[in-house]
Amino acid sequence: MTAEGPRFGATPQNPDLLRWIGVQVLLLVIAWVIGMVVRRLLASRMTMSTASATLTGLGGLWGGLLVAGWIFSSSDMWRPAMIGVAALVALIVVIVVSLIVAYLHPRPGLEPIAEVATRGESDSLEFKSSARWNMRAGKRDDAMETVIAKTVAAFMNSGGGTLLIGVDDDGRLIGLGPDYATLKTPDADRFELWIRDLWGQRLGTNAAALPLLDFAEATDPQEGYERQEVCRVTIPPALGPVYLRGPKGKGEAELWVRVGNSTRRLEVADAVQYVSTRWPESVRVSPWTRVRLLAMRRREMPTRLPGVVERVLTERAVSGLSAVEEE
């Protein structure tokens, strides 16, 4: 900008600002890549989410740029060598922070998936052969996704439980090969991203973040698929009712619960009673709301009856008294 006002042309007036913005975007991408690499390296001990690892990597890159400033001259700013040094420092930072977080907040002790599968289905344990592939029809089926979503919702609305995906009714670990084949990248990370997106649409964003996922190798893999893993979904009880909605979050909300070894949908009257009993605070009316409702009710109620109604009632009362006196 000059004294004459802003100028617009083919050449940017402030290339340094544009270069700085581009570098920040590049740093964010590098931080995400570093976070994914560390999640791969520390898969069994990693407790940080992808977002947390990315933010940690971004902070490590900024710190790495400070370190690189002591090594390179001003003429070397933003060269690949400088970015490389910053990325190396960021990688070390993310690994160290991840190990510290894993030590302070370790994963809850979980039994091996193969041992859990030997128990058989119960009110707190459910087996599903796949999450989106219909084994009988031999194709992807949206109904399978609905089954997964309503099972998770039912566990949340009850006492919690465990869902094993890639395990048949007999407890055999057949793997997620068909489900992986429907994904762009056939691996556990992409499967977790997809299934959490499904829960976000059908159950809500808050509910989608509650379950804990871990994976194990399939012991009875299906033929014709490369990756053969089983997914365990550990589902805690929710602090409030979790409703199942239709595909893409549309349709009427339904309340599903666990009844023995099965998943059941509650009708409206039963759902209202169940919610008011299990989560009474969710239906409790605050004092301020009660005052507002009382004020609205008083405004809506007339202070006196309309004149026509008063005359009719008076005439009926008088005629009634006259009839009594004649008798």
Strands 125-128 and 161-165: parallel
Check pLDDT > 70 for residue 151.
yes
- Note the pLDDT of residue 39: 81
Domains along the chain with CATH numbers: 15-104 (no CATH), 114-280 (3.30.950.30)
Distance CA 273, CA 177 (A): 42
Distance CA 304, CA 131 (A): 64
- Note the pLDDT of residue 72: 75
What's the rounded mean pLDDT across residues 86-99?
Answer: 90
- Note the pLDDT of residue 310: 57
Assign 135 a pLDDT band (cuts: 50, 70, 90): confident
Percentage with pLDDT > 90 across the chain: 34
Exposure string over 36-72, b if 16+ CB within 10 A, otherwise e: eebbeebeeebbbebeebbbbbbebbeebbeebeeee
pLDDT in tens, 31-86: 899 988 888 787 666 777 788 888 998 898 888 888 887 877 765 566 777 878 88
- Note the pLDDT of residue 1: 47
Residues pairing with 161 in the sheet: 235
pLDDT in tens, 283-292: 665 676 667 6
Check pLDDT > 50 for residue 324.
no
- Note the pLDDT of residue 87: 87
- Note the pLDDT of residue 107: 64
Query: Nearest CA to 218 among 252, 244, 274, 180?
Result: 180
- Note the pLDDT of residue 247: 84
Tokens read off for 159: 């006492």
pLDDT in tens, 213-269: 999 988 888 887 777 899 999 999 998 999 999 887 677 889 999 998 899 999 988
Q: Can you list the positions of beta strands (E) in 188-322?
A: 212-217, 229-235, 243-244, 254-259, 262-266
Check pLDDT > 60 for residue 327.
no
- Note the pLDDT of residue 230: 93
Percentage with pLDDT > 70 across the chain: 77
